[in-house]
């Protein structure tokens, strides 16, 4: 059974990345259910593992590491708390195929 707060971490991720990076596209997928019973999964929080795709002009001229640091900085509270794993895809609008 999922806790009543399901969706709040995902919403926070979307909101914070939208504010920090002004993305043209953002897709946040909660993959926590795939990790039930594994290290880092908490039935208390429910939302612990995410796949995030962000397309933003803010990534222009930046390396992949620099892009990931921008995302991690925006999500520092979530990464210090309920989020155990964050898979990132970071692109500029020009890199979309």
- What CATH number has the domain bearing residue 88? 3.30.300.90
Total domains present in the chain: 1
Residue 87: predicted pLDDT: 96
Within a domain: 14: yes
Q: Please state which of the ranges 3-12, 39-48, 75-84 shows the lowest mean pLDDT.
A: 39-48
Tell me: the pLDDT tens digits for 29-51?
998 877 565 554 444 557 888 99
Nearest to 79 by CA among 36, 33, 40, 22: 40
Cα 6 from Cα 25, distance rounded (Å): 23
Domain extent for 18: 8-95
Cα 97 from Cα 79, distance rounded (Å): 30
Within a domain: 33: yes
């Amino acid at each position: 059974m999922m806790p009543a707060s399901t969706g709040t971490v995902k919403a926070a991720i979307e909101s914070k990345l939208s504010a920090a990076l002004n993305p043209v596209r953002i897709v946040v997928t909660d993959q926590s259910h795939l990790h039930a019973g594994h290290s880092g999964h908490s039935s208390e929080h429910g939302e612990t593992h995410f796949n995030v795709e962000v397309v933003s002009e803010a990534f222009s001229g930046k390396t992949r590491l620099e892009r990931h640091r921008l995302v991690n900085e925006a999500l520092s509270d979530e990464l210090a708390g309920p989020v155990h794993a964050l898979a990132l895809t970071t692109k500029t609008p020009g890199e979309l195929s």
